[in-house]
């Protein structure tokens, strides 16, 4: 059975619901040697900041049971080098939408980034990283407070008409309150979740496993939390397009997020395990839909029987 994979996040139409998550796919070009990146629904860039950042000192990655702890600290080339050196490749792609992930230490920085990138050809929208757990200033601060979330989204909304998708932090008690604030600020869609603040210890040396002590946990270990949050937000805000992520390794994992109400998904840590995971999920999602006798993958969205 032929299955239609097209989906939309409101005004943003995707050829399929499989995106690659920020920080796990570089700027796209690195993976183009390994997979056909034109087959992806969307590419989300590493978080971009106004100035280049070297990130945190090593060690900044540690493998945990069913997951990965990272404290990269938003290492990136900075907005000007991004436009000059990374956009020409991204702009040349025909299939995937290009979403640039923005990170700032202040509201003014997010606004300046959006303003600077708004006129750049080839960018389909922005994912606002208001949920990075690995920065001293900014980042997660915005995403754990409804008033700050509303403020940063509203201020960015004023300087761009492009698709705008805040990325929510799971490090909160009430994810629905943050989601509502982001929508109130003018979000077109929401992505969730970023990593969960966590730590790992070397008992022999009596030291933390990573230099910053705390980091962000990703991978299969966090999938049940991510599913719960997507489900909660989709029930509270059924009209808002959601993008689900956290621990997706297979098409079945991706389908679970769609059933909980996500219209699209992102593949993150899994690309480190096997760089072909994202494109494999595109094919396997179609097979899953056919098995379920569903002709359009979008019909799976929110189809959880509960």
Fill in the DSSP letter of residue 189.
-
Query: Which of 2, 7, 1 is closest to 299 using CA atoms?
Result: 7
> CA 70, CA 197: separation in Å to the nearest integer?
10
132 is catalytic: yes
Q: Which residues pair with 218 in a beta bridge?
A: 68
* Residue nearest ligand FMN, CB atom distance: 23
Query: Which of 81, 85, 79 is closest to 101 using CA atoms?
Result: 79
Nearest approach, Cβ of residue 259 and ligand FMN (Å): 17
Give the nearer residue to ligand FMN in terms of CB position, either 170 or 208.
Answer: 170
Pairing of strands 61-64, 67-70: antiparallel
Catalytic residue among 14, 37, 132, 289: 132
Give the nearer residue to ligand FMN in terms of CB position, either 160 or 218.
Answer: 218
Q: Count Cα neighbours of 73 within 13 Å in the Cβ-side half-sphere.
A: 18
Fill in the DSSP letter of residue 86.
I
Give the nearer residue to ligand FMN in terms of CB position, either 3 or 270.
Answer: 270
Determine the length of the chain.
306
Nearest approach, Cβ of residue 169 and ligand FMN (Å): 10
Pairing of strands 42-44, 18-20: parallel
Give the nearer residue to ligand FMN in terms of CB position, either 3 or 140.
Answer: 140
Give the nearer residue to ligand FMN in terms of CB position, either 191 or 234.
Answer: 191
The residues of the shown chain that bind ligand FMN, judged by CB under 6 A, are 21-24, 46-47, 68, 70, 72, 74, 101, 129, 132, 167, 194-195, 218-219, 222, 245-248, 268-270
Listed in sequence order, the DSSP H helices in 37-130 are 79-81, 87-92, 107-118
Q: Any idea what the Cα angle at residue 43 is, between residues 42 and 49, rounded to 5°?
A: 135
> CA 166, CA 144: separation in Å to the nearest integer?
12
Nearest approach, Cβ of residue 102 and ligand FMN (Å): 9
Nearest approach, Cβ of residue 219 and ligand FMN (Å): 5
Q: Which two tokens stand for residue 221?
A: 């270990």
Nearest approach, Cβ of residue 295 and ligand FMN (Å): 28
Active site residue ranges: 132
């Amino acid at each position: 059975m032929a299955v239609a994979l097209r989906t939309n996040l409101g005004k943003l139409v995707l050829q399929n619901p499989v995106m690659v998550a920020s920080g796990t796919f570089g700027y796209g070009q690195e993976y183009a040697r390994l997979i056909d990146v034109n087959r992806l629904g969307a590419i989300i860039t590493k978080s971009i900041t106004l100035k280049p950042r070297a990130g945190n000192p090593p060690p900044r990655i540690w493998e945990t049971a069913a997951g990965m702890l990272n404290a990269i600290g938003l290492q990136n080339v900075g907005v000007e080098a991004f436009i000059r050196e990374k956009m020409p490749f991204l702009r040349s792609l025909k299939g995937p939408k290009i979403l640039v992930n923005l990170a700032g230490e202040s509201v003014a920085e997010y606004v300046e980034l959006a303003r600077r990138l708004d006129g750049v050809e080839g960018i389909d929208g922005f994912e606002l990283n208001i949920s990075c757990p690995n920065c001293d200033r900014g980042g997660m601060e915005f995403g754990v407070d409804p008033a700050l979330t509303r403020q940063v989204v509203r201020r960015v909304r004023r300087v761009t008409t492009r698709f705008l998708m805040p990325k929510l932090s799971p490090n909160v008690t009430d994810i629905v309150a943050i989601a509502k604030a982001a929508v109130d600020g003018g979000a077109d869609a929401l992505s969730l979740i970023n990593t969960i603040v966590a730590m790992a210890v070397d008992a022999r040396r009596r030291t933390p496993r990573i230099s910053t002590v705390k980091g962000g946990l990703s991978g299969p270990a966090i999938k049940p939390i991510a599913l719960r949050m997507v489900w909660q937000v989709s029930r509270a805000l059924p009209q808002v397009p959601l993008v689900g992520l956290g621990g997706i390794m297979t098409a079945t994992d991706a389908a679970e997020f769609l059933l909980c109400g996500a219209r699209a998904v992102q593949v993150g840590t899994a690309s480190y395990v096997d760089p072909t995971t994202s494109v494999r999920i595109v094919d396997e999602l179609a097979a899953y839909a056919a098995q379920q006798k569903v002709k359009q993958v979008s019909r799976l969205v929110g189809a959880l029987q509960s």
